[in-house]
C-alpha cells in the first residue's frame, strides 16, 4: 500500500450523524473551515453551555508519535469558536466572529485520540459581551477550552474572540 493510500485509510471518518445539533455544527465546520476535515474533527457535544470536539491521533500525529501541537491548538480553537457561534445563533444575533489572540499550555504529550471542551464559565461576561455587541456593533469575549486524552487533562487553551455585528462585518463569501 502506498503512502497516500495508507494516509487516507488512517484519516477516513465514520459516516456523519444525520440530525441533531452535533451534526449541524459538524457540517457547518466542515463546510466553512477546511482544516476541520483534515484534522478528523468530530462534534461529540454541541449546546449553548458546552461544545466538545474529538480528533484522532492518526490525523494529527507528529514525528514523535504524539499529537502535533498546532493540531491540538486548532481543535481547541474550534471548540471555543463553536460555542460562541452556537450561543450567538441561539440569541438571534448575526455577527462575524474571529479569534484575536490565543494562548495554549501543553501539560502532557497527547499520545492517543483526544478531545477539546469549551464551557461557558462566566455568564456575566456573556451578558456584557452581548450588550456591547448590540450597543456598539463589536465586542470581545475570552473563552477557555480544556484538552483531554484518556480522561486526563493534557492542555489548556485561552482565546479572545471578537464579534462584529452585521453592520460592521464584511459579507461572507460562502453566504449566510
Q: What is the pLDDT of residues 15-61, one digit of tens each?
A: 334 679 999 999 999 999 999 999 999 999 999 999 999 999 999 99
Higher pLDDT, 6 or 92: 92
Contacts 24+ apart (CB under 8 A), 28-35: 28/85, 29/78, 29/82, 31/174, 32/174, 33/78, 35/74
In this structure, what are the phi and psi dihedrals at residue 60, rounded to the nearest 5 degrees? -130, 15
74 pLDDT tier (thresholds 50, 70, 90): very high
Say if CB 48 and CB 23 are below 8 A apart. no
pLDDT at 1 > cutoff 50? no
pLDDT at 155 > cutoff 70? yes
Name the nearest CA neighbour of 142 among 83, 60, 73, 66: 83
**3.10.129.10, 3.40.50.620, 3.40.50.300, 2.60.120.10: which CATH number matches 3-11+18-165?**
3.10.129.10
pTM: 0.84
Say if CB 156 and CB 116 are below 8 A apart. no
Domain coordinates of the chain in residue numbers?
A: 3-11+18-165
Structure confidence at residue 167 (pLDDT): 67
Amino acid at each position: 500500500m502506498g503512502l497516500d493510500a495508507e494516509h487516507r485509510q488512517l484519516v477516513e471518518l465514520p459516516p456523519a450523524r444525520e440530525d441533531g445539533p452535533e451534526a449541524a455544527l459538524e457540517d457547518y465546520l466542515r463546510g466553512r473551515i477546511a482544516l476541520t476535515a483534515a484534522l478528523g474533527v468530530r462534534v461529540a457535544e454541541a449546546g449553548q453551555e458546552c461544545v466538545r470536539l474529538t480528533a484522532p491521533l492518526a490525523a494529527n500525529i507528529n514525528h514523535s508519535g504524539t499529537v502535533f501541537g498546532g493540531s491540538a491548538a486548532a481543535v481547541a480553537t474550534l471548540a471555543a469558536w463553536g460555542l460562541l457561534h452556537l450561543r450567538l445563533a441561539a440569541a438571534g444575533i448575526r455577527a462575524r466572529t474571529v479569534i484575536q489572540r490565543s494562548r495554549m499550555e501543553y501539560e502532557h504529550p497527547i499520545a492517543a485520540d483526544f478531545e477539546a471542551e469549551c464551557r461557558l464559565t462566566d455568564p456575566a461576561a456573556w451578558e456584557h459581551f452581548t450588550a456591547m455587541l448590540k450597543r456598539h456593533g463589536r465586542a470581545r469575549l475570552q473563552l477557555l477550552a480544556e484538552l483531554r486524552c484518556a480522561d486526563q487533562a493534557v492542555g489548556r487553551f485561552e482565546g479572545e474572540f471578537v464579534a462584529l455585528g452585521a453592520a460592521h462585518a464584511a459579507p461572507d463569501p460562502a453566504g449566510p
